[in-house]
Structure 1
Amino acid sequence: MERELVAPVSLTAADGRLNADAIGFARRPLVDTAGVDGRRGWGRTKRWEYWNVITPTHIVALTVSSLDYAAVHEVWVFDRATRRSRGRTATVIPAHDVDLPPSLGDGAAIARARDLAISVTPGTESWRLFAEIPDASFDITVVRPPGHECLAVVVPWSRRRFQYTVKDVALPASGTVVVDGVEHPVPAGSWAVLDHGRGRWPYDVRWNWGAGAGVSGDRVVGLQVGGRWTAGTGSTENGVLVDGILHKISEELRWDYDLAHPLRPWRVRGGGLDATLTPFHDKHSARNLGILSARTHQCFGVWEGSFEGMAFEGIEGFAEDVHNRW
């Protein structure tokens, strides 16, 4: 079983390497990541904020990131009725016009690039997500309900290579999405997920990630599953939220899917969880800038299955397969 962190702790030791006392998982973002600032381990330090919001009419996402030598940002808006996507990606070399807080909640995340503007502003147990590209924008408020738990995990490859991730799922969202000048409300029943990351990564890495949220029966269910990148570390990023309470899964899960046919079902099993995502859209992207390359299949759909005897259905979310050289 993984160790549960219950008190604030620094991710890094005085020498900038991993602090062994930080290894474990937490239900709140307790880990101070101010030591992951790019001044040590330059080129391997990766910092980002990713937000995804699924509404009845749209799916939106934003990314603010710094990879030391480059800043990579994205704004994406998907119309669920027309299946049309609008988006902008910016790769800024060398990294500039990007601000990321030292630790989660310590300040705003801001990115500026050609035809793209993003700001993520924290409040008291809330965030304001604003993103704008030439043909679309969104202004969304996300709240963390009282007692709502997240999954914060420190993943140790070694003392020099490590990652702190906060996966916060099933967060209620409200606001507006504007596409081609037409305003669309973000109503009740819209859900947000946060991926907050700070760490120092290997150059070549592959991972799976899946998340989802919704109401099944009389319960709010949130799914958070991952794979491959944590294998052999003793840490996992797997858990299920039921009415805001985290049920941690401390074992690697089995992922079954076919990248040749990504819109076929994705199945994730283990630790009392048996979940299947039936996709309706594959957000596929690939770029190769020589030393920097990335390939992603992020499939959006509906999860159903069971966890420790509790059946669930109608949980909207995604599952992804990613390969980065960065």
Structure 2
Amino acid sequence: MIEREITERVALCRPDGRLNSEAVGWTRKPLHDTSGIGRGRYARARNKRWEYWNVTTPTHILALTISDISYAGVHEVWLFDRATGEVIGANAMAPFAVNTTLPGTLGQGPARAHAADLAIAIDEVEGGTRLRAITSRVRFDVLASRPPGHEAMGVVVPWSDRLFQYTVKDVARPAAGRLWVDGVRREVPEGSSWAVLDHGRGRWPYRVRWNWGAASGIVDGRRIGVQIGAKWTEGTGSTENALVVEGVVHKISEELTWTYHPGNWLAPWRMQGERADLTFTPFYHKSSRTCLGVVATEGHQCFGHYTGWMSESTGARVSVDGLTGWAEYVAQRW
């Protein structure tokens, strides 16, 4: 598979709202103007916009989601205590995404959500991205740093000129800050905490399935990030697979084979290809299921550790042994 690297700014959409063919490709830094999502009469109610951040620390896993799926805002703040296994989550659905703010283009403004028992704020600041969230039991304030020269894989996945997705998967961002659980302060320690962004802007089919995996950390003294995906990109000519070494993206333009066991989600997963051979061993399974008539979601997100290797653009193999991250399967009707 040959994927075109885009190196100059480009609009994702044409003036009529259809996909701009010049936008199809991948990038090392955000170059796509996605402000045209929502324009035109094509694929109404298919527009989906979101920011998902996950932060892994030695003691906790934190996550926040702000999303606008056209007819609703769907938001979440989630925390997992790695020592006790306690899970604290807060979810909210806002009709027509009321009190939801998302920038038209990544980095071009704040993101906000306020509904029910949660409030979320995401802001670009000097040196990185500030992540804040509060619920009745949990509060956190974390800086996801952006080291000089740090790259993030972006890619456009085209199903058609009416249905398409732009995603930025930014892995291995050093994180630091504080969190509070029931008023008790805990540290998000610098040097052993990592943030990952899933930024999405697009127009989706009604039914879709996907796999996504990511991991971050230090291996052999180098900052390593893993980004892999499957199912939703098949047949499009695009992939979302990449290895990040010391902030440099090494794009992997092949579909990986995922092997896992539905119904036994804590069994080891395998992800394999010519440039990757990974084993993922979960320690926690987060399951979610929603059915609201024509809208339904089934999700299985497992957190655990990766072993194996991925290859750089030169062909050199890079160990990912011991990286903490996740792998997931999601089926959507939306």
Q: Name the residue aligned to 1:5.
A: 6
Q: Name the residue aligned to 1:37.
A: 38
- The one-character-per-residue Cα deviations of 1:208-258 (angstroms, maximum 9, x if unpaired) are 000000111121110000000000000000010111111111011100100
What CA distance in whole angstroms lies between the structure 2 residues aligned with 1:48 and 1:61?
13
Q: Name the residue aligned to 1:163.
A: 165
Match among 87, 90, 96 for residue 89 of structure 2: 87
| Structure 2 letter corresponding to 1:237 | E
**Secondary structure at 1:313 match in 2:** coil
- The one-character-per-residue Cα deviations of 1:117-157 (angstroms, maximum 9, x if unpaired) are 00101124411100111011111011111111111000000
Deviation, 1:39, is: 5.8
Match among 286, 291, 295 for residue 288 of structure 1: 291
- The one-character-per-residue Cα deviations of 1:39-63 (angstroms, maximum 9, x if unpaired) are 6432100000000000011000000
**Secondary structure at 2:15 match in 1:** coil
Extract unaligned runs of 5+ from structure 1: none
The alignment status of 1:192 with 2:200, answered yes or no, reads no
Does the CA-based 8 Å contact 1:267-1:277 persist in structure 2?
A: yes
What CA distance in whole angstroms lies between the structure 2 residues aligned with 1:268 and 1:144?
28
What CA distance in whole angstroms lies between the structure 2 residues aligned with 1:74 and 1:13?
32
> Structure 2 matches for 1:7-156, cutoff 5 A?
7-37=8-38, 40=41, 41-156=43-158
What CA distance in whole angstroms lies between the structure 2 residues aligned with 1:200 and 1:14?
15
Does the CA-based 8 Å contact 1:18-1:159 persist in structure 2?
A: yes
Match among 163, 182, 185 for residue 183 of structure 1: 185
| Structure 2 letter corresponding to 1:3 | R
- The one-character-per-residue Cα deviations of 1:280-319 (angstroms, maximum 9, x if unpaired) are 0011111111111111100000111012333231100000
Does the CA-based 8 Å contact 1:250-1:271 persist in structure 2?
A: no
What CA distance in whole angstroms lies between the structure 1 residues aligned with 2:305 and 2:320?
11
> Percent identity at matched positions?
53
What CA distance in whole angstroms lies between the structure 2 residues aligned with 1:7 and 1:124?
23
Please give the TM-score of this superposition, normalised by the length of structure 1: 0.98
| Structure 1 letter corresponding to 2:213 | G
Deviation, 1:196, is: 0.3
Q: Name the residue aligned to 1:240.
A: 243
Does the CA-based 8 Å contact 1:214-1:220 persist in structure 2?
A: yes
> Structure 2 matches for 1:182-261, cutoff 5 A?
182-188=184-190, 189-261=192-264
| Structure 2 letter corresponding to 1:37 | G
Does the CA-based 8 Å contact 1:38-1:68 persist in structure 2?
A: no
Does the CA-based 8 Å contact 2:17-2:38 persist in structure 1?
A: no
The alignment status of 1:323 with 2:324, answered yes or no, reads no
The alignment status of 1:305 with 2:308, answered yes or no, reads yes
Report the aligned-residue RMSD. Answer: 1.0
| Structure 1 letter corresponding to 2:198 | D
Deviation, 1:38, is: 6.0
Extract unaligned runs of 5+ from structure 2: 312-316
Does the CA-based 8 Å contact 1:249-1:271 persist in structure 2?
A: no
What CA distance in whole angstroms lies between the structure 2 residues aligned with 1:7 and 1:271?
30
What CA distance in whole angstroms lies between the structure 2 residues aligned with 1:240 and 1:169?
9
| Structure 2 letter corresponding to 1:325 | R
- The one-character-per-residue Cα deviations of 1:21-43 (angstroms, maximum 9, x if unpaired) are 00000000000000013664321
**Secondary structure at 1:21 match in 2:** helix
**Secondary structure at 1:261 match in 2:** coil
**Secondary structure at 1:36 match in 2:** coil
